[in-house]
A and B are shown apart, each in its own frame.
Chain A
């Protein structure tokens, strides 16, 4: 089964507010594809998250000068995506029944977002804001999971509602 109309996403989106890691140990390093709408949702999420970080910086600034600097001083964390879809979708449908896991990865509307990876650790005080950005971007309420024995591998499964 092939999915038409998926687009390739660059490793940096929304002006660097979202990064995508195309490497994979399971297949070719080309799992960068999504539907155009889902790509727009991911960028919307990253922008919303960035605005929240700036807003919190401003609200906690001791004076107006420091608050103004929030627009340049707030740089991190930037969310990182480590799995999208292949160019024609599919492939993960090895069982032939469209069952889990990775069901929605096959049609370009799911992304794995690193949350607790040491390199891209999203502190819980930022994670609550990132969760709101995910919801505002019209995605499912994300579930964390991968390997409870190795919590650093856990990530959120972002799925489009559109």
Chain B
């Protein structure tokens, strides 16, 4: 009986200590529904693009937005902030991050124990904020954005608790990845596009370097790339820099046209190149397509090929 009593007491103590050890984690900083819009305008004199971003927080957002970051390629200058926000480049140097870093008072009843205070100028649910601005020589293309809601991290009672809290609550890991991410317009070296040579042939596409005639290539549209924006006359294919045959050329069946060659629901741009000008060598294993969008942003795409009827 005495032994049973000790066992029960021990079980109760273990149960209690496990309750005490339970950690209440703050919600991840992704409890926001946000619409990010970007505007890119080119100054013809300086050849600098000015990028301006606007955040619109949905009324259903749970958290205030206190951080907004955009990835970019190349370098940026002339960074401007909305009122009450400041900016900084991240350690990697390829992401600019704005944050609402003018502090507000802690809410009533919350003691200052070293935690991060709330911001005085957040983007509240149902409101919008613009003025996130920078300039770049690089043209616009798809880049990632990162938005964070305010989710205060409570102080812990000991060093061990702090380490455990960090691990259990998922604070160990990229701050950027724990928020809301998406795609917007930003500075890019070029837009990477998917292409299909001789659609619907699968890669590696068999190609005879000596063949005559025309080679059709489809630039594939997607949720992030509108194939109709391609500047057809800017396209070059292969080491021979073949240019697109015009619709007036008798060798072309049809012309540059939009059709969904891969049945994914997104229109693809189909163009035709003179096969002899592509300059394929028997050792080639892929073909590169270069060009620009109508707005001037470079695009690149390639697909694997397999040369046939070659005499090496």
Chain A interfacial positions (CB closer than 8 Å to B): 40-41, 44, 48, 51-52, 55-56, 100-103, 115-116, 124-125, 127-129, 131-133, 135-138, 140-148, 151, 154-157, 159, 161-162
Chain B interfacial positions (CB closer than 8 Å to A): 67, 86, 88-92, 97, 99, 101-103, 106, 111-117, 119, 153, 155-167, 171-175, 178
Sample of 13 A–B contacts (CB below 8 Å): A41-B91, A56-B86, A124-B117, A128-B101, A128-B119, A131-B116, A135-B99, A136-B97, A140-B172, A144-B162, A145-B157, A145-B165, A147-B157
Q: For A116, what are the chain B residues with a Cβ–Cβ distance below 8 Å? A: 112-114
A131 to B, closest residue via Cβ: B116
A100 to B, closest residue via Cβ: B163
CB A79 to nearest CB in B, in angstroms, measures: 13
Evaluate contact between B119 and A159: CB separation under 8 angstroms. no
CB B134 to nearest CB in A, in angstroms, measures: 15
Evaluate contact between B88 and A136: CB separation under 8 angstroms. yes
Evaluate contact between A151 and B113: CB separation under 8 angstroms. yes
Q: Is the interface of A mostly helix, strand, loop or mixed?
A: mixed
Evaluate contact between B113 and A148: CB separation under 8 angstroms. yes
Evaluate contact between A154 and B88: CB separation under 8 angstroms. no
CA distance in complex: A146, B111 (Å): 15
B105 to A, closest residue via Cβ: A124
Known: A41-B91, A155-B114. A143 touches B156 (CB 8 A): yes
Known: A124-B112, A128-B119, A154-B113. A143 touches B162 (CB 8 A): yes
A141's partner among B91, B114, B153, B164 (CB-CB below 8 A) is B153
The residue in A131, A132, A133 that gathers the most chain B C-beta atoms within 10 A of its C-beta is A132
CA distance in complex: A102, B106 (Å): 29
